[in-house]
Amino acid sequence: MIDAFVDGLDLKELGFERTRCAATGRPGYHPSVLLKLFIYGYLNRVQSSRRLEREADRNLEVMWLLGRLVPDHKTIADFRKDYGKAIGRVCTRVVVVCRRIWHLSAASVAIDGSRFKAFNNGDRNFTKAKMKRRMDQIQESVSRYLHQLNSADHQSATPAIASRVERLSEKIGKLREEMQRLQVLETEMMASPDEQVR
């Protein structure tokens, strides 16, 4: 497929020079040979010029594709450097060909390895085990705050102690509200078929 695709391209129009050999001197590699090697490399995730050189020397598929030519890594790297824009235009042609044979539609979307926070994140999803863990944590926090309140009661009354008691009372109130919310969620969870709340 790579062979037929590259052979069907007008390389001069795409920006590749030296598509015809000069009458004097030893001929260089034809741009189509190196282009086939690059397309093979990108399709098979072999992008290093040194690894492409090794593939040309050991891989039967690449040997056939290049007609047993083995360009060295410097030649491969120079080709990439000299014809970067032309290689980009070839990639555009690949997309056009794929659209024509219906491998890609105009609405196709490619997604990289980015991670997005899901809507059903940890605060919204509850299972039995998770619910029990959360309720235990809240009970432990309430017990700790109540203990701190008791110790504050035994100390002499100062503005700092009064402020601390007020803060602890607010925290206990919020934790009790959270416990009530979790109890409602637990009822919903037990009523759902998979015993989960999303």
133 plus 90 within the same structural domain:
no
9 plus 94 within the same structural domain:
yes
138 plus 186 within the same structural domain:
yes
Is the pLDDT assigned to residue 56 strictly greater than 60? yes
Higher pLDDT, 73 or 128: 73
pLDDT for res 53: 93
Once rounded to an integer, what is the mean pLDDT over residues 53-80?
A: 91
pLDDT for res 55: 93
pLDDT interval class at 58 (50, 70, 90) = very high
Distance CA 143, CA 141 (A): 5
Mean pLDDT across the chain:
76
The string of pLDDT tens digits covering residues 74-122 is 998 888 888 888 887 887 777 677 666 665 555 555 555 555 555 555 5
Q: pTM for this structure?
A: 0.49
Domain carrying residue 18: 2-100
Does residue 83 lie in a domain region? yes
79 plus 155 within the same structural domain:
no
The number of domains in the chain is: 2
91 plus 7 within the same structural domain:
yes
Domain boundary among 57, 84, 100: 100
Does residue 52 lie in a domain region? yes
71 plus 153 within the same structural domain:
no
Does residue 155 lie in a domain region? yes
Nearest CA among 59, 61, 64, 67 for reference residue 29: 67
Nearest CA among 95, 36, 85 for reference residue 62: 36
89 plus 170 within the same structural domain:
no
Nearest CA among 142, 141, 159, 161 for reference residue 151: 161
Does residue 116 lie in a domain region? no
Burial class (CB in 10 A: 0-12, 13-18, 19+), 76: buried
Distance CA 54, CA 158 (A): 80
82 plus 11 within the same structural domain:
yes
